[in-house]
Amino acid sequence: MATVGYIGLGIMGGSIVRNLMKAGHELVVHNRSQKVVQELVAAGAKTASSPKAVAEQVEFVFTNLPDTPDVEKVVLGKDGIIEGAHAGLVYIDNSTIKPEIARMLAERLAEVGVAALDAPVSGGDVGAKNGTLTIMVGGPQEAFDRATPLFQAMGKAWVLVGDSGAGQIAKVCNQIIVGAQMVALAEALITAEKAGVDPSRVVDAIKGGAAQMWTMDVKPPRLFAGNRQPGFKAYMQHKDLGICLDTGKTYGIPLPMTAVIMQLYQSMLEMGHRELDNSAIITVYEQLANVRLSEPLKPE
């Protein structure tokens, strides 16, 4: 078993830590909010006062943070991970950040003998809790092989996509598709509702055919129950779509559909719904169509 540090204990990070502990790994944690830290310490984790202090004590150190500047600060800033560097340390980033920054961080850490893996995840809060995340990894094969037992505790699938930054490119591709799925689901449900057909029965009719997808399986029951809590927060989906568009600019890739979807999420944020689930993009369509998604009809 390994000694593992984890920095960033939000909706995803806290659940990942619990699964790593269940697998028998020794955890050292650090987070800005102390409530979750106290809960994990009560469950057997140790705590450290800074990212540097975490890195000094462990074989692997993870980050799972909201955005690119946050990761840069935790890795390279004062009392950052780089200041706690030591021989054999592997850095693994579960955040979704700009691919070029992931490559830069890997280069900077390599200068002090630390191997880096960019390893963004997909699967939302359910995947984090159940240990069924999909993990997209970029970086050296040797570090990936060493980290595989940790990925086994976190997810159901993990793939070394390529060199540093490749995991983040894979996440860009993932988020392009996820954003499109959330918007397509919203359009479909509101179409059924506005046309006077029970949307839940429409879902039952189409989810076994060509429209089948994870989003169709997981999100409608929550929406029909009036549950629009995250999940994966809308403002994070918006942030990720921004990374997708920035990557398109970097490599000269036209992403017109992604640009439209980002504008829809911008509208959702302007409506004050930034903390809701990304599937709650349906709120934008409800306003545009002047209709509210109803609960499923009960069988007679």
- As annotated, the active-site residues are 171
CA dihedral 207, 208, 211, 212 (to 10 degrees): 80
Exposure string of 111-131, with b = 16+ CB inside 10 Å and e = fewer, is eeebbbbbbbbbbbbebbbeb
First to last CA, the chain: 55
Residues 20 and 150 sit within 8 Å (Cβ to Cβ): yes
Q: What are phi and psi of 254, to 5 degrees?
A: -75, 130
- Work out the widest C-alpha separation in the chain, in whole angstroms: 69
What is the amino acid identity at position 211?
A
Strand 115-118 and strand 90-93: pairing?
parallel
CA nearest 182: which of 247, 258, 245, 126? Answer: 258
Q: 55: part of which helix (H) or strand (E)?
A: helix 51-57
Residues 85 and 114 sit within 8 Å (Cβ to Cβ): yes
CA nearest 11: which of 81, 73, 95? Answer: 95
Q: Token pair 């057909």 is at which residue?
A: 197
Strand 133-138 and strand 121-122: pairing?
antiparallel
Q: Is 254 left (phi over 0), alpha (psi -120 to 50) or beta?
A: beta
Q: Token pair 């955040």 is at which residue?
A: 95
